[in-house]
Amino acid sequence: MPFSMIIDDLAASGWSLQSSFLSNDVTRELADECRRRYAEGALAPAGVGRGEEQAVREGIRGDHIHWLEEGQAEVCDAYLALMDELRQMLNRELFLGLEEFECHFALYPPGAFYQTHLDRFRDDDSRCVSAVLYLNPNWQPADGGELRMHFADGSTRDIPPQAGDLLIFMSGDFPHEVLVTRSDRVSLTGWFRRRPVDVLAL
């Protein structure tokens, strides 16, 4: 696995895109697992905000999600184990103090999108590094659904959701959005988390 390339990219620019991070077979298994759960009704409309303020707002985001937990599926367990290896290397090389990795399947049906946002909450800095694994075989530009990253200099870059590609970036540094998709768009979206800073104790 190209963990060293991810480390170098994060140190240099705060983000990394690794093409063909997983094999076609593993990527297909993960996509099939997501679609199976969707067909069974396990994926629910994603909310905006957290706690009591969380609400489903389709005008902001339109994906359906289901969180991964160990023991649900062998291929998912293998992916979580791989991400834990990456977590340990991020801590060893970049001293980030990451304690866990959380992850969910995300399926955007045709017409869905997600407006520009940051992955870190204003009052909680525990999400430190974002990781998006794309699960869309035979993706074509006409399918839409690109992730548009916004950079500090005002420039943008559109990341196509190609099957097997892994996008990693510092959660608090890059506003981003998901452009309107014209076909089902499937991914595994996750965050490496550290212990939040207790601002009241400072």
User: Where are the chain's structural domains?
Assistant: 14-46+62-196
Q: What is the pLDDT of residues 6-59, one digit of tens each?
A: 999 999 999 999 999 999 999 999 999 999 999 999 999 986 555 544 454 556
Amino acid at 132: V
Q: Would you list the DSSP string of 54-111?
A: -B--TTTB--EEEE--TTS-HHHHHHHHHHHHHHHHHHHHH---EEEEEEEEEEE-TT
> How far is 43 from 154, CA to CA, in rounded Å?
35
More confident residue, 124 or 175: 175
> How far is 35 from 142, CA to CA, in rounded Å?
21
Q: What is the pLDDT of residues 83-104, one digit of tens each?
A: 999 999 999 999 999 999 999 9
Q: Backbone phi, then psi, for 153, in 5-degree steps?
A: -85, 5
Give the per-residue pLDDT at 12: 97
Q: What is the pLDDT of residues 102-138, one digit of tens each?
A: 999 999 999 999 999 998 877 678 999 999 999 999 9
Contact 26, 81 (CB under 8 A): no
Give the per-residue pLDDT at 120: 80
Over range 173-200, report the average pLDDT.
88
Position 192 pLDDT exceeds 80: yes
CATH superfamily, region 14-46+62-196:
q2cbj1_9rhob like domain (2.60.120.620)
Give the per-residue pLDDT at 123: 66
Q: Which has the minimum average pLDDT: 163-167, 185-189, 195-199?
A: 195-199
